[in-house]
Chain A
């Protein structure tokens, strides 16, 4: 679990710095559940990607829409006024895909994981479906220059 968390952090840093030109800082003491206000204060988008391999589960990426709009702008080099919903959705899906794929190859590039196509989930189901007390997994709250985002891996029982 410790290795998985380290791989997630390395992956988040690499993706955000390389593709979005953002510096990142990790708050190791914050949990998503206890800081849900950060993500529910305004519109938030959540993306889910399932994975299977030696262990299976799902990745969740949680981002306030304002930060996502800034990231889309950086990513595509477009003026913010031209950023549309399809760009936001495309950016969060690609970001989820890159963080997940890069986490697993950082963890161990000898092991193959199958990744699903990322999909948006209803933000209202976040607390009820993904923030239970008995889930096995890892979560990281990341502070960027434009605000907070969160990444969570929920592991399925095998």
Chain B
């Protein structure tokens, strides 16, 4: 089964880095969707069933917390796990992400291993499986 991943970040380079990191983490056959902010992400969610949403926090138009809130209010999206990847590592903000319903968060800068471990935990917990093994490290 192909895993469908939505990456939400206003930074084109960061979306590319996250995608590259995920592909190198054993999810090479994953299908990727990209959005520059929460509003565009919601439009994609309306038309596509996704396995996970990976979102930045600080974005124009609609930020990551507003996106999580909107997803949790919609029956169709509320079970989709959300991984927050953010520069904002204050304890208050991290608590807020988790209280709003994020499955986990990763602080930027991140290592490829951090992304891999969080994805494995979340997708493993939701019953998805990786497309191939990644136990032998990451190859960029």
> Least Cβ distance of B9 to chain A in Å?
9
Q: Which of A87, A101, A109, A115 contacts B13 (CB 8 A)?
A: A87
A67 at interface, CB cutoff 8 A = no
Contacts of B86 in A (CB 8 A): 101
A105 to B13, CA, bound (A): 23
Determine if A86 and B12 form an interchain contact, defined as CB atoms under 8 angstroms apart. yes
Determine if A91 and B89 form an interchain contact, defined as CB atoms under 8 angstroms apart. no
> Least Cβ distance of A85 to chain B in Å?
11
Contacts of A76 in B (CB 8 A): 13, 16-17, 20
Q: Which of A75, A98, A101 has the most CB of B within 10 A?
A: A101
Stretch of A11-19, A38-46, A128-136 on the interface side: A11-19
Q: Mark B111-128, 1 if CB is under 8 A from A, else 0.
A: 100000000000000000
Q: Which residue of B lies closest to A75 (CB)?
A: B13
Q: Mark B89-102, 1 if CB is under 8 A from A, else 0.
A: 11111000000000
B58 at interface, CB cutoff 8 A = yes
Determine if B92 and A115 form an interchain contact, defined as CB atoms under 8 angstroms apart. no
Determine if A75 and B17 form an interchain contact, defined as CB atoms under 8 angstroms apart. yes
Determine if B13 and A98 form an interchain contact, defined as CB atoms under 8 angstroms apart. no
A14 to B108, CA, bound (A): 10
Determine if A102 and B109 form an interchain contact, defined as CB atoms under 8 angstroms apart. yes
Determine if B11 and A14 form an interchain contact, defined as CB atoms under 8 angstroms apart. no
Contacts of A100 in B (CB 8 A): 87
Residues 81-100 (chain A) with a chain B CB within 8 angstroms = 86-87, 90-91, 93-94, 97-98, 100
A25 to B91, CA, bound (A): 30
- The SS class assigned to the A binding surface is helix
Determine if B90 and A102 form an interchain contact, defined as CB atoms under 8 angstroms apart. no
- Please count the residue pairs between chain A and chain B whose beta carbons lie under 8 angstroms apart in the complex: 75
B69 at interface, CB cutoff 8 A = no
Determine if B90 and A105 form an interchain contact, defined as CB atoms under 8 angstroms apart. yes
Contacts of B92 in A (CB 8 A): 110, 112
A111 to B94, CA, bound (A): 12
A109 to B93, CA, bound (A): 10
Contacts of A94 in B (CB 8 A): 11, 13-14
Q: Which residue of B lies closest to A14 (CB)?
A: B109
A75 to B12, CA, bound (A): 11
Contacts of A72 in B (CB 8 A): 13
- 17 pairs from A and B in contact (CB 8 Å cutoff): A15-B109, A19-B110, A75-B13, A90-B11, A94-B14, A97-B11, A97-B58, A97-B87, A98-B87, A101-B88, A101-B89, A105-B88, A105-B90, A105-B107, A109-B91, A110-B92, A112-B93
Top 8 A-B residue pairs of the complex, sorted by shortest distance between their CB atoms = A101-B87, A105-B89, A18-B109, A90-B13, A94-B11, A90-B12, A112-B90, A19-B109
